[in-house]
Amino acid sequence: MFKTTIKALLMLLIPVSVFSQVVTTNPAFPTDNQAVTIVFHAQEGDGGLADFTEDIWAHTGVITNESSSGSDWKYVIAEWSENTDKAKLTRINSNTYELNIEPSIRAFYGVPEGEEIQKMTFVFRNADGTKTGRATGGLDIFVDVYEAGLNVNIESPINGEIVALNQQIPIVAQTTDAEFTRFFINDELIGEYDAQGFTYDFTATNAGKTSFKVEAWSQGESAVDSAYIFVKGEVEIAELPTGMRDGVNYIDDHTVLLSLLAPGKEYAFAIGDFSNWEVNDEVFMKRTPDGERFWIQINNLQAGEPYIYQYYIDGELTVADVYSEQISDPWNDEYISEEIFPNLPQYPFGKTNGIASVFTTAQTPYEWQIENFEAPKKTDLVIYEVLIRDLSEEHSFQFLIDTLSYFKSLGVNTIELMPINEFEGNNSWGYNPSFYFAVDKYYGTKDKLKEFIDACHAQGIAVVIDMVLNHSYGQNPQVQMYWDGENSRPAADNPWFNTVSPNQSYHWGYDFNHESNYTKAFVDSVNSFWIEEFKVDGFRFDFTKGFTNKPGDGWAYDASRINILQRMAQEIWKVDEDAYVIFEHLADNSEEKVLSAYDILLWGNMNHKYKEANMGYNSSDKSDLSWASYQKRGWSKPHVVAYMESHDEERQMVFNNTWGNGYDWYQITNENIGLKRIEMSTLFHLMIPGPKMFWQFGELGYDYSINWPSGTSDDRLTPKPPKWEYQEQWRRKNIQLVTASLNKLKTNYDTWETENFELDVRGEIKTVTLLHEDMNAIAIGNFSVGYKTVEIVFPQGGQWYSFFNDEEDIVLNDQGVWQVLLAPGAYYLFTDKQISEPDLGTGVENNVGEEKSFKYYPNPSNGLLWVETTKSINNIEVYGSMGQRVFHKRIASSNKPVKLSINTKSWANGVYILKLQDNKGEIQTAKLVVK
């Protein structure tokens, strides 16, 4: 059975040679009103600061009874980047450091009397925080704070430690204020001792679980501590059952099979709620003959009950399942409301550390209303890029569902969601991904996401998701499983990641090795999952010029990268032949030309050129818009996804408001003039054939800087306020209406898909001419800040119809030349066939009029509109949906309310803006429908 030797001893501090702990303390049982010395053993834990030769600081705080969770640090000493002497460690030898917590724990951290200190927390780091020393698995370090009096602690073995068969290990226990102690193995009394502590040499001769218990007694009272080890036998070798995939496989309502891809690892356990978070024979995973995977079948589960679990690998690493479809996060879940994610499982604090995974059997499948959606043609795409976090204060999929009528009225036919798979933290753009199969809970449940996609499809709107497969971050289990702690980077044997990025100019997180077959298989599994499980219509892939192992900044032509990306696209099209594959590539045109010819869409950043055009700076081709054209780039297919703004670019109205040009009365820094310029640039944006993209609220002239509120890059990722109220400002509303009308033209008329078009968009006067057998069209805009007399050459003479204002229709001579004086910012769209103004709808329910100081009726109007005010006004105007003024009346100064009628019989059907101004200059607006 057991070979044993007993040694009793008095001890104050257990030396590190006895057992492996990343931190020890002196005294061994620190209390809140004592000074304590923290001893950091840098070679232990994750070894991130082993043999480090420079200074080390502690990032440290406490867990108290006021902490909201086991990870809610309180009274933190200094910010992460602050190197305060108070938290600087003293080097004792190459891997041993000390930090004196004095005059007491309570005083050091500044914890008020009456608040119970439960633990001290630590992460050790170098000066700039690029290297850290943590517990095994990269976890925070926790040190218990005890109450004065009788205490007992089993210092060794670590609870749940895995030991080899016939391995000898020391059992080390210590107590305070004990008269005697009792020691038990598997509930059998082994010995009773008078001393304050003892060691016991134990030889593990039997495989399986062995339990230890120590009782400390004093004056009839006792304190108890327990621990267990698992004596590992041989790993069972067995093939993975046919049809099983990596991650969770649901066998029936009471059974799952877990499969872990971990090449080169020796053994693994699946631990979780189903094992009471202990290792035992029932969760000791089998290994496949090729050594690639571990798997285990978990039986007798309760149907419909969520189970939290992790993998415990080689006795030193605990990680979540990278393939899990839900995670349990000890740091961020507490900030997710019940409304956003009902019945969120509670993290098992005290049983494990770090992120865990969740599975639930007997889930009710989502019932899709639209099974076979026909997505819009690539050439018709009008994409609306959305950051759910900043679209509304509730940051939810439900809000998106409730807002679909707005997107529909805007003429959007594709919504592109910035990353919605799990990323680190809650408050993020999402480009720091960690789990690729799990929906980020901060936005809602996976079924709510499915409901949104289903509702989009019902409205004829496609859904594209932003996928970040260039890099990942430290919470990704694939990073953690193969980690070089000494150098704080992925290890050389990591199957998925490069040790360092080959691109030293542009890199984030940890760089995927896209030449690895493991990475290729993972990428394919991610992409197919979102198409098959969520019916997404495609992907926008972030920073695809990083999909290479070729050193450099990624700009130059790279044949290996082309092969990697074409292979990935081809695998996507095997799952869905019509899926959109969109790259944020931004590399040399010679490479983008090849990718475009392969039916890949590529982002075309026109922010700078439109910025110059909007601000009125047109010299030296500053505002040349021609690069938005696939033909200008020499591409064979219209695959440029051009955009004026994206999540990554400054907003156009910020440029106008801050640096806009001007002459005399015409100053682009004037808000109304600046907003009118956005209408003009939107016309040209949508006239150039090919798919187009808008950034959220761009159609309302959003004017909060990307660096708001500080104006510096420190706030680049800071949440920005949603400004739905901008719809109530008539000038901003005009941009929205112009955008909507042009989107309807683009998606309903073949003219906007023509391959025969002409661009003259380099200078102050810009034109785009579309030539098609059905209809010709020409856009004209004066991007200067002064009046310009010009001659515009149309495709032919004769009748031309003004789209924005039928009062501006023209008849040209046979030469098709139009001589005109263009005001600054003036723009026109003419067609040689008359087309009706599109029915734009109202987007969202509008109760305007009920809280105004005037009323108007009937609405809709069919010939005569009455306007009654409750106070005096001096000006009434009505604007059409394209921004043209169709009615204007000045009223003599008076202190009396006004009642007047407006004849609307000659007006085209559609939406109009009614604008009233009082004697104080205050303006009120309302929406009017004419039928």
Per-residue exposure over 424-451, b if at least 16 CB sit within 10 Å of its own CB, e if not? bbbebbbbbbbbbbbbbbbbbbbbbbbb
* Cα distance between residue 479 and residue 499, in whole Å: 10
* Cα distance between residue 791 and residue 735, in whole Å: 27
DSSP letter for each residue of 362-426:
SPPPP--S-SS--PPPGGG-EEEEE-HHHH-TT--HHHHHHTHHHHHHTT--EEEE---B-BSSS
Neighbours of 639 (CB within 10 A): 26
Domain match, 727 and 702 both = yes
Nearest to residue 241, comparing CAs of 318, 164, 293? 293
* Cα distance between residue 889 and residue 915, in whole Å: 11
Q: Tell me, what CATH number does 787's domain have? A: 2.60.40.1180
* Cα distance between residue 132 and residue 474, in whole Å: 12
* All residues at 6 or more sequence positions from 556 whose CB lies less than 8 Å from its CB, including other chains: 587, 588
* Cα distance between residue 434 and residue 473, in whole Å: 6
Torsion angle (degrees, nearest 10) of CA 634, 635, 636, 639:
-150
Domain match, 72 and 99 both = yes
Domain match, 737 and 760 both = no
* Cα distance between residue 192 and residue 180, in whole Å: 7
Domain match, 555 and 668 both = yes
136 domain-assigned: yes
Domain match, 22 and 122 both = yes
Domain match, 664 and 782 both = no
843 domain-assigned: no
337 domain-assigned: yes
This prediction has a pTM of 0.85
Q: Tell me, what CATH number does 633's domain have? A: 3.20.20.80
> Which domain, by its residues, includes 663?
378-432+442-746
Q: Distance of CA 391 to CAs 42, 124, 920, Å?
A: 45, 38, 34
> At 496, is the secondary structure helix, strand, or coil?
coil
Q: Which residue has the tokens 């038990």?
A: 184
Please give the pLDDT value at position 9.
33
Tokens of 88: 């600087």
848 domain-assigned: no
DSSP letter for each residue of 442-495:
TT--HHHHHHHHHHHHHTT-EEEEEE--SEE-TTSHHHHHSEETTTTEE-TT-S
Total number of domains in the chain: 5
Please give the pLDDT value at position 850.
40
139 touches 331 (CB < 8 A): no
β-strands 692-695, 382-386: how paired? parallel
Per-residue exposure over 834-858, b if at least 16 CB sit within 10 Å of its own CB, e if not? eeebbebbebeeeebbeeeebebee
Write out pLDDT tens, residues 471-509: 999 999 999 999 998 888 999 999 999 999 998 888 899
Domain match, 566 and 712 both = yes
Please give the pLDDT value at position 895.
74
* Cα distance between residue 38 and residue 35, in whole Å: 10
839 domain-assigned: no
Q: Tell me, what CATH number does 864's domain have? A: 2.60.40.10
* All residues at 6 or more sequence positions from 801 whose CB lies less than 8 Å from its CB, including other chains: 809, 830, 831, 832, 833, 834, 835
125 domain-assigned: yes
Domain match, 881 and 920 both = yes
Last residue of a domain, which of 328, 360, 392? Answer: 360
Q: Is 920 exposed, middle or buried (0-12, 13-18, 19+ CB in 10 A)?
A: exposed
* Cα distance between residue 334 and residue 438, in whole Å: 18
Please give the pLDDT value at position 837.
59
189 domain-assigned: yes
Within 13 A of 112's CA, how many CA atoms are on the CB side?
A: 4
Domain match, 676 and 775 both = no
* Cα distance between residue 823 and residue 790, in whole Å: 11
Nearest to residue 554, comparing CAs of 597, 580, 582, 583? 583
Tokens of 94: 């190459």
Domain match, 545 and 677 both = yes
Please give the pLDDT value at position 842.
34
Domain match, 79 and 99 both = yes
The rounded Cα 7 to chain-centroid distance in angstroms is 56
Domain match, 307 and 203 both = no
* Cα distance between residue 20 and residue 146, in whole Å: 21
Q: Which residues of the chain have pLDDT under 70?
A: 1-20, 137, 837-852, 881-884, 893-894, 921
Last residue of a domain, which of 746, 765, 787? Answer: 746
Strand partners, 767: 760, 780
* Cα distance between residue 148 and residue 155, in whole Å: 18
Last residue of a domain, which of 207, 231, 255? Answer: 231
* Cα distance between residue 880 and residue 860, in whole Å: 14
Name the E strands within 795-920. Answer: 798-802, 810-812, 817-822, 827-831, 854-857, 864-869, 873-879, 885-890, 899-903, 910-918
Tokens of 466: 């932003």
Write out pLDDT tens, residues 741-768: 999 999 999 999 999 999 999 999 999 9
788 domain-assigned: yes
